[in-house]
Amino acid sequence: MGKTHERIDGRLREFIEAQPMFFVATAPLSGDGTVNLSPKGLRGTLAVLDERTVAYLDFAGSNAETVAHLRENGRITLMWCAFDGPPNIVRVHGRGEPVFRDDRRWPDLLRHFDVDPTPHGLRAVIVVRAELVRDTCGYAVPLMSYDADRDLHARRFAREDDASLSAYFAGKEHVASSIDGLPGLPLPLPPTPPR
């Protein structure tokens, strides 16, 4: 049965850090707005910053629904499922914020991740402060094996620089604004700060 936790530590933290993928859900305030649910992967792109805070790298893509929803209202839920080993589901419900390249926190945040974000068109770090942490049984989650991360994302975006990446985003219908017309990713992208 479900259990509420005061913090992300011990076995919860170990479980979260061991999963090769997780899911992110956000929604606009409008009752008829579009709910967004996104899978996230690539090892090393999620970090537990402290007992109440997690963060993940937000890479180039065809839309920016999560960023738009967070800019509007901050509500977010992250979910991890055990696809192997003992059944378990962990959810972190909280308030999130996109931290962009020109934010003074950017360099310190990047130090928490065990991956080179350069080839992925990194556009933001999503920081989530937990308000509710729960785990449940996960008995109905199927058993599946993790083989490897795909290399397609890095291969696609490694050839982009800041200018071409901004142009790519400007050409996408739902990056500067969401499906529902909310402000999305600020364009043009600020330059990548030196590491």
- Look up the pTM and report it: 0.96
Task: Render pLDDT for 114-151 as a digit per residue (tens, 0 to 9).
Answer: 999 889 999 999 999 999 999 999 999 999 999 999 99
Task: Render pLDDT for 90-116 as a digit per residue (tens, 0 to 9).
Answer: 999 999 999 999 999 999 999 999 999
Rounded CA separation 89/5 (Å)? 13
Measured CA to CA in angstroms, residue 70 lies from 34, 40, 80, 144 at distances of 13, 17, 20, 31
Per the listing, tokens 């003992």 go with 86
